[in-house]
Chains A and B, each alone.
Chain A
């Protein structure tokens, strides 16, 4: 009885509290979803405002915000300014993530395996078939590589992660660019498909001698082994946070083109080559709800860096954040 009364009291407080608070809804990319949930939780605790985010994939996010079903959309693939004009959307980045090449090789330790960028493309093209192929063995003289067939694991659903990964492969391998190309869903030459970062993780865990690509947060969560790969200029670079950050420094996002820029293959001595921004899309005509949405992101930019780092993402550099604030001011949706 007492318990019931307490529950009623709690729900009453929640309902009455909710009446005065802002409530916004968003949908889209799964890649930053864990972080948005975290931010939304803390934001609710701090301000009482509610953010409801559905992780349905970038394509779904673009679709839903274009149809004005949700207050904001989220996409790992930035939209070109022309497309934004057509769909009447605003766009700005929210956080940066990285994509790592993960492998299930019982004999090899984390980050021990070195893969040339070109060889990654050849593995995913099916040209390199065995782990002890000369191309791989050359770069790994200290490791005894097994003579086992490589099982490629890729995404079976459309995905912003695939978009950024295939963008990377297209720029390091002419063959990849010609045969497969860039996109959120591809005609994969070899391998098996898993749905979502989670699907890849499950397949990788239970398939010995496999290789795949996941968002860094999933690598950490599952204790996967990730390959050391190459910077744009060909230097070895480990998949660790300081190298992701080094790459993020080169982001030259500009408000003039709604921050359209793909971050893959940035220059620099220690820039990890596959980092990706993830973006927020707003409907242009909804000034009032847009103000509520940017209030959330303004709060997250001020208070959310710690959670971002803890979850394996890279917070936006301060200059970018300032630029985004100016962008909001310019389009007339300053946070409250």
Chain B
């Protein structure tokens, strides 16, 4: 009897694991099937063509791909150093009394739904960008900053947790050898927490590249590759959110699926590379 329970539990858990794989493959297959008409019509030129005119049945994905990549990139370069800074402050510098309130505040920031960031970005942040940097206030820069604020708590919390795992004995040994605080952070804490930091960057990247609602509000929603980062642009999720329900015409519909497929591949490749390349390297070093 006990054996049967054990066996069936084994099969059930195996099934759950395989289910994930099946879902992944099916999603890819559906996207590919639906995108087929557009893939046949435009081929690889879809990636470089920047004209998007649904009424003329001309579709090019370049502006959306560009917008996705650049806004995510901007978000990452803004958020990563700040997140690491917050984590260092919380683990190494702050008084015990400060740690909890600041840590909680950061976690609460992570709980805010993304659409609220979008609304805040549109009504309060866009005018500031317009004042300081020119343009309409809506565009890549605004989207990048709003995204960075969105992923910041996430990154900071994971980085802090992994820095917290640094054994005190290592730090104390370093201090005993005459290391300054800065030396300890640079040569002990950060190397020790590297895997966690990279992991947080990957998770944040995944969230930023697929983010839809917050970005739809502040991106400007224009199918053009902007000549400046303060100008309006679009991204893949934004295009899908804007146009999917109204897309009539087979080629239009298929082109949106083509974009979805590209987003799927981009995030897949980014996360896979990061996971296999960086994390493996880090593990070896440790």
Residues of A within 8 A of B (CB): 56-60, 62-63, 151, 156-159, 166, 180-188, 191-195, 202-203, 206-207
Contact = CB atoms under 8 A, between A and B. Distances in A.
Contact of B55 (A63, A186, A195, A203): A186
B205 to A, nearest CB: 25
Of the candidates A60, A183, A185, A194, the one having the most CB atoms from chain B within 10 angstroms of its own CB is A185
Given A185-B243, A203-B138, 16 more contacts: A57-B245, A57-B246, A59-B247, A60-B245, A156-B222, A157-B242, A158-B54, A158-B243, A158-B248, A180-B53, A181-B55, A186-B53, A187-B54, A191-B222, A202-B123, A206-B123
A183 B221 contact: no
A207 B136 contact: yes
Contacts of A59: 245-248
- The majority secondary structure among interface residues of chain A is loop
B141 to A, nearest CB: 14
A202 B55 contact: no
Nearest to A188: B222
A193 B139 CA distance: 11
Given A202-B122, A207-B137, A184 B55 contact: yes
B91 interface: no
Interface string B221-250: 111000000001010000001110111100
B51 A206 contact: no
Among the interface residues A59, A156, A186, which one has the most CB atoms of the partner chain B within 10 A? A156
B220 interface: yes
B221 A193 contact: yes
Given A192-B136, A194-B221, A207-B137, A185 B54 contact: yes
Contacts of A184: 54-55, 246, 248
B32 interface: no
A159 B246 contact: yes
Contacts of A203: 122, 138
B127 interface: yes
